Amino acid sequence: MSANKEAILKKLAEAVVNFDEAAAMAAVNEAISAQLDPVEAITRGLTAGIKEVGEKFGRGEIPLPFLMLAAQVMEKATNELLKYVPEDKKPEPLGVMVLGTVEGDIHNLGTNIVTAVFTAAGFKVYNIGVDQPVENFIKKAEEVNADIIGASALMSNTLQQQKFLGEALKKRRLRNKYIYMVGGGAFPGEEWCRECGADDYATDVMIALEKAKRLLAERKGERKTKKK
Amino acid sequence: MGGPPCTTVSTIEEYDYVEKLAAEVAGGEEELRKRPLFWTVYNYIGTLQLNRFNSWLLRASMKYHWPIMPAVTAAAPLMGPAMAAGNTAISHAGILFMTALKQFHDPGAAVVPNNIVFSLDPMTGRGGAHVPHFMLGTCAMNQLWHELYGLPTAQYGGTFAASLDQQAFNLARYLTLQIISGTDFIFEQCGGEAFDPALIPICAEIARMGRSLMSTFHQIYPAPENLALDVTKEVGAKGEKWMTHKYNLDRLKMFPPGFCLDTNAFDTWLEKGARSWVYDLCREKLKELEKHEPKPLPKDVVERMNAIVKEGNDKLRVRVE
Ligand code: B12
């Protein structure tokens, strides 16, 4: 059984690495018939695959469309596996993120990729779309009790909105409630991140993912120490 | 001028102020109308659809009867067909659509297609003009407009890289392609990805190269004077006299020196400190350019412009930092 289990987990990972939806769904069916723990199939099978794809993308070995394909395969297979997990046993998402492109800006290639990759990595992402006023980010974050608010801007003249969002959060005393991340192709770096009052920034999705995980872990650590 | 006239969140009303400002600089509405000014209306989203930003731009152009240069294309291979022919067809259809819209609402206004068959680098998703798709597509678009309709074309070129040396390379290559494919109206967009003021001398160098290439194009036509038949006969096979011959001396201005390019021999270059073009020589040129003082606008014009900006910002409630 255990050798078979390892073989199925490997198949799941490989299907994601090869962007092969049919193979992924076949491996999912195998996992279900072999009564594998679906959560383990996700975390040790599919996730291992997406991690490898992410690393390859980070090293410039595969183009963006394949990263998207892998994320799509991952999402489909995950959703199928989750059907076999009882409601109370469904794994908590790594984090809940509200993501969008700021007002005045209609670039969404980047946020779509962030959505796909973060979702594949176990986040619950609410992508509110493009041209979104500051207000909508906050409203959605409050509504879904988000951990992270992510704002993307691609143009010098829409960058300001990232700062306005930071200020609006502060004004409403919500700044500490959320992790605030900024990104997108126009990003001028560290200094601007500070000026926006954001926790961190990234102009690459894999770096964004690492940073988001780190910030979440730090926050959880903080909460624990506070509880003590 | 108290801060930038910020266009973060534009509405069509913003263009009223753009028009007013332009008229002030030009010396009045009437003067402004005499100038060959074009709006560039971009649309790379879906070629037959507009969003609120570029539709405002288009509508403003109709309101003020500005000539336009529509740039309509799909960003292949992430948002458009991967083959240049397909993207050229889509881009072409898009420009026709934009032209028809403009002519319907603003009959007789000039429209010059801003030919661009856009492509992204699929490794990064950022603009990639080094790929054949882009070059072939834009050349094909030029041919279509020239030969099918006998109409002039415009085309923009971009930097599409982060480092200065690569930006310089891209710009120069772009310009050459544009000239060779017969673009009538060329403009290069400097910066965007990462702006360094040293790009200004780089652009100046490249613009000079383009201008001299365009203005001396006629030398390649095999006319008797260009072929220098008589002079060749006179100078003879050894060619000694070319250097000081009047025929050549009269034409030396067709061999312009670089603005800040170093064409010394390798040894000399090393001896002089091995300075690079983009990093050292352009920065040095920049110091010279910084000394240049543009003729200030008359005080009353500046005052009126500030008043327009203030009125616009108040009315549109634009936040200026
Ligand atoms: C593709 C593109 C478009 C497409 C957009 C299609 C779409 N659906 O998104 C189209 C053609 C429609 C377009 C339109 C315009 N564009 Co455009 N566009 C680009 C281009 C070539 C690539 C942008 C892109 O998608 N990159 C790929 C993605 C994957 O990268 P990314 O967004 O950075 O995302 C990554 C990271 O930043 C990160 N990330 C993204 N979001 C977030 C969020 C968070 C929280 C975090 C942590 C990380 C993160 O992860 C992503 C994956 O790694 C850039 C050039 C460039 N060098 O960037 C110009 C560019 C951004 N565009 C530009 C302009 C000016 C425009 C237009 C105004 C043109 C016009 N005159 O109409 C319009 C915009 C209208 C508007 N109001 O928004 C300029 C901006 C200049 C500036 N500095 O201000 C650029 C830089 C081009 C240039 N050099 O001039 N554009």
Residues of A with CB under 8 A from a CB of B: 60, 63-65, 103-104, 106, 109-110, 113, 131, 157-158, 160-161, 163-164, 185
* Whether residue A124 is found in the same domain as residue A149: yes
Residue-averaged pLDDT of chain B:
86
* Whether residue A85 is found in the same domain as residue A100: no
Question: Across-strand partners of B76?
Answer: B119
Pocket lining: A161 vs ligand 1, CB cutoff 6 Å: no
Q: In the structure encoding, which two tokens stand for residue B107, read together?
A: 């009959």
Residue B166, pLDDT > 70, answer yes
Q: How does pLDDT run across B119-130, given as a tens digit for each residue? A: 999 988 888 878
Task: Please calculate the CA angle B107-B112-B114 and round it to the nearest 5 degrees.
Answer: 135
Provide the pLDDT confidence category of residue B4 given band limits of 50, 70 and 90.
Answer: very low
Cα–Cα distance, A195 to A177 (Å, whole number): 19
* Whether residue B169 is found in the same domain as residue B239: no
Pairing of strands B68-72, A148-152: unpaired
- Mapping DSSP onto H, E and C, the string for B174-215 reads HHHHHHHCCCCEEEECCCCCCCCCCHHHHHHHHHHHHHHHHH
Q: Do A110 and B6 touch (CB under 8 A)?
A: no
Instruction: Please name which of B41, B113, B43, B49 lies closest in space to residue B75, comparing C-alpha atoms.
Output: B43
Cα–Cα distance, A162 to A159 (Å, whole number): 6
Q: Please give the single-letter amino acid code of residue A174.
A: L
Q: How close B262 comes to chain A (CA, Å)?
A: 32
* Whether residue B127 is found in the same domain as residue B234: no
Q: How close A68 comes to chain B (CA, Å)?
A: 11
Pairing of strands B185-188, A124-132: unpaired
* Whether residue A197 is found in the same domain as residue A121: yes
Q: Do A104 and B9 touch (CB under 8 A)?
A: yes
Residue B39, pLDDT > 90, answer no
Residue B87, pLDDT > 90, answer yes
Residue B149 in domain: yes
- Mark which of A50, A74, A89 sits at the end of a domain: A89
Q: Average of pLDDT values for B64-86? A: 90
Cα–Cα distance, B217 to B211 (Å, whole number): 10
DSSP assignment, residue A18? T
Residue B168 in domain: yes
What is the pLDDT at residue A120? 86
What is the pLDDT at residue B173? 87
Interface check for B256 against chain A (CB to CB < 8 A): the answer is: no
- Mark which of B235, B253, B271 sits at the end of a domain: B271
* Whether residue A122 is found in the same domain as residue A151: yes
* Whether residue B123 is found in the same domain as residue B33: yes
What is the pLDDT at residue B321? 46
Instruction: Please name which of A227, A159, A224, A222 lies closest in space to residue A196, comparing C-alpha atoms.
Output: A159
Q: Which residues of A190-220 are buried (b: 16+ CB within 10 A; e: fewer)?
A: eebbeebbbbbbbbebbebbebbbebbeebe
- From the CA of B125, give the closest atom in ligand 1: 27
Interface test with A, best of B9, B118, B195 (most A CBs within 10 A): B9
Instruction: Kindly tell me the burial class for residue B180, based on how many C-beta atoms sit within 10 Å of its own C-beta (0-12, 13-18, 19 or more).
Output: exposed
Pocket lining: A152 vs ligand 1, CB cutoff 6 Å: yes
* Whether residue A119 is found in the same domain as residue A203: yes
* Whether residue B182 is found in the same domain as residue B87: yes
- Mark which of A31, A61, A89 sits at the end of a domain: A89
Comparing CB atoms, the residue among A63, A160, A185 nearest residue B123 is: A63
What is the pLDDT at residue B8? 45
Contacts of B130 (CB under 8 A, 6+ apart): B121, B160, B170, B173
Residue numbers of the domain that contains B198: 5-219+275-316
What is the pLDDT at residue A93? 92
* Whether residue B147 is found in the same domain as residue B254: no
Residue of higher predicted confidence among A170 and B256? A170
* Whether residue A58 is found in the same domain as residue A13: yes
Q: How does pLDDT run across A130-145, given as a tens digit for each residue? A: 999 999 999 999 999 9
What is the pLDDT at residue B46? 61
Q: Average of pLDDT values for A32-37? A: 95
Q: Do A164 and B7 touch (CB under 8 A)?
A: no
What is the pLDDT at residue B203? 86
* Whether residue A195 is found in the same domain as residue A162: yes
Cα–Cα distance, A41 to A51 (Å, whole number): 14
Q: How close B89 comes to chain A (CA, Å)?
A: 23
Comparing CB atoms, the residue among A60, A64, A157 nearest residue B8 is: A157
Q: Average of pLDDT values for A178-198? A: 89
Residue of B nearest to A205 (CA): B124
Q: How many domains does chain A have?
A: 2
Cα–Cα distance, B54 to B41 (Å, whole number): 6
Interface check for B82 against chain A (CB to CB < 8 A): the answer is: no
- Give one word for A94, left, alpha or beta, with left for phi > 0 and alpha for psi -120 to 50: alpha
- Cβ atoms B18, B313 nearer than 8 A: no
Cα–Cα distance, B320 to B81 (Å, whole number): 40
| Residue nearest to ligand 1 atom 36, measured at CA | A203
Q: How does pLDDT run across A45-90, given as a tens digit for each residue? A: 999 999 899 889 888 899 988 998 999 999 999 999 999 998 888 8
Residue of A nearest to B50 (CA): A106
- Mark which of A73, A89, A105 sits at the end of a domain: A89
Pocket lining: A95 vs ligand 1, CB cutoff 6 Å: no
Cα–Cα distance, A220 to A213 (Å, whole number): 10
* Whether residue B187 is found in the same domain as residue B287: yes
What is the pLDDT at residue B191? 64
Residue ranges of the alpha helices (H) in chain A? 2-17, 21-33, 38-40, 47-58, 64-82, 109-120, 134-144, 156-171, 190-196, 205-227
Residue B321 in domain: no
* Whether residue A71 is found in the same domain as residue A28: yes
Comparing CB atoms, the residue among A106, A109, A161 nearest residue B125 is: A109
Interface check for B77 against chain A (CB to CB < 8 A): the answer is: yes
Q: Do B78 and A64 touch (CB under 8 A)?
A: yes
Pocket lining: B42 vs ligand 1, CB cutoff 6 Å: yes
* Whether residue A125 is found in the same domain as residue A64: no
* Whether residue A33 is found in the same domain as residue A103: no
* Whether residue B87 is found in the same domain as residue B233: no
Q: How many CB atoms lie within 10 A of CB B159?
A: 27
CATH number, domain of A126, equals: 3.40.50.280
* Whether residue A106 is found in the same domain as residue A85: no
Residue-averaged pLDDT of chain A:
91
- Nearest-Å Rg of the Cα atoms of chain B is 23
Residue of higher predicted confidence among A161 and B6? A161
User: Which residues of A are less than 8 Å from B6 in CB distance?
Assistant: 157, 160
Instruction: Please name which of A101, A206, A204, A199 lies closest in space to residue A153, comparing C-alpha atoms.
Output: A101
Residue B232 in domain: yes
* Whether residue B262 is found in the same domain as residue B290: no
* Whether residue A221 is found in the same domain as residue A204: yes
User: ipTM beyond 0.95?
Assistant: no
Q: How many domains does chain B have?
A: 2
* Whether residue B206 is found in the same domain as residue B298: yes
What is the pLDDT at residue B136? 93
* Whether residue B265 is found in the same domain as residue B281: no
* Whether residue B215 is found in the same domain as residue B234: no
Residue A113, pLDDT > 50, answer yes
CATH number, domain of A21, equals: 1.10.1240.10
| A202 C-alpha to ligand 1 centroid (Å) | 14
What is the pLDDT at residue A139? 98
CATH number, domain of B286, equals: 3.20.20.480
Q: In the structure encoding, which two tokens stand for residue B160, read together?
A: 């599409």
The total number of residues shown for chain A amounts to 228
Residue numbers of the domain that contains A191: 96-227
- From the CA of A105, give the closest atom in ligand 1: 78
Q: How does pLDDT run across B113-155, given as a tens digit for each residue? A: 998 899 999 988 888 878 899 989 999 999 999 999 999 999 8
* Whether residue B264 is found in the same domain as residue B167: no
